[in-house]
Amino acid sequence: MSYNKLNLKQIQKLGETISKYLFPGAKLLLFGNLGTGKTTLTSYIVNSLSKSPINVTSPTFSLVKVYDTNPTIYHVDLYRLNEPQEIEYLDVFMDPKGIYIIEWADFLDYLTPEERLEIHISYNEDIRYRDVKIEGFGEKYKEMEANIEKEQ
């Protein structure tokens, strides 16, 4: 499903809706150029699952940030990595009960999970807005995609 010309408030609603359908072991793969809003969307998702406000920033230098949510969210940024082998070293999907939000997921290469929810964020021709495409791979994620679409 695709959403066009979303403003910040609509992206917040989308993040809150996505958070309703997350489950232990969920994998969200985020794609988009610099500044399109991957971390902003992640912030809305994380804060929807948190008891108190969390300042979500991009883990570009730390590579992984862990948020005290239920279930635990692992926020991963692969921008600085050059080879998929470096990702293997990180052991990105080590917690089977954790939720994974992966920025710059195109760097996963052969480590891309078969079952996942892909979220592609791009600039709209009007730079103040974003276009978002969501696609589920695997039964749970296709169902998740359908549920998100019903609420938007």
Residues 64-121 pLDDT 10s? 999 999 999 999 999 988 777 777 777 788 899 999 999 999 999 889 999 999 999 9
- For residues 46-62, give the mean pLDDT: 91
Q: Is residue 40 within 8 Å of residue 130, measured between CB atoms?
A: no
Q: Residue 115 is which amino acid?
A: E
What was the pLDDT predicted at 105?
95
- CB burial readout 87-118, b (16+ within 10 A) else e: beeeebbeeeebbbbbbbbebbeebbbeebbb
What was the pLDDT predicted at 59?
86
What was the pLDDT predicted at 62?
83
Q: Is residue 25 within 8 Å of residue 96, measured between CB atoms?
A: yes
User: How would you list the strands of the sheet with 27-31, edge to edge?
Assistant: 2-6, 130-137, 116-123, 27-31, 99-103, 73-77, 64-67
Check residues 10 and 152 and name the one with the higher pLDDT. Answer: 10
Per-residue pLDDT at 152 exceeds 80: yes
- For residues 24-51, give the mean pLDDT: 97
Percent of the residues in the chain that have a pLDDT greater than 90, as a whole number: 82
Average pLDDT across the chain, whole number: 94
Q: Which CATH class is domain 2-151?
A: alpha beta
Q: Is residue 130 within 8 Å of residue 122, measured between CB atoms?
A: yes
The first and second tokens of residue 17, run together, are 């809706």
Query: Where exactly are the structural domains of the chain?
Result: 2-151
What was the pLDDT predicted at 87?
76
- Chain Cα centroid distance, residue 46: 10
Per-residue pLDDT at 61 exceeds 90: no
What was the pLDDT predicted at 85?
75
Per-residue pLDDT at 23 exceeds 80: yes
What was the pLDDT predicted at 81?
82
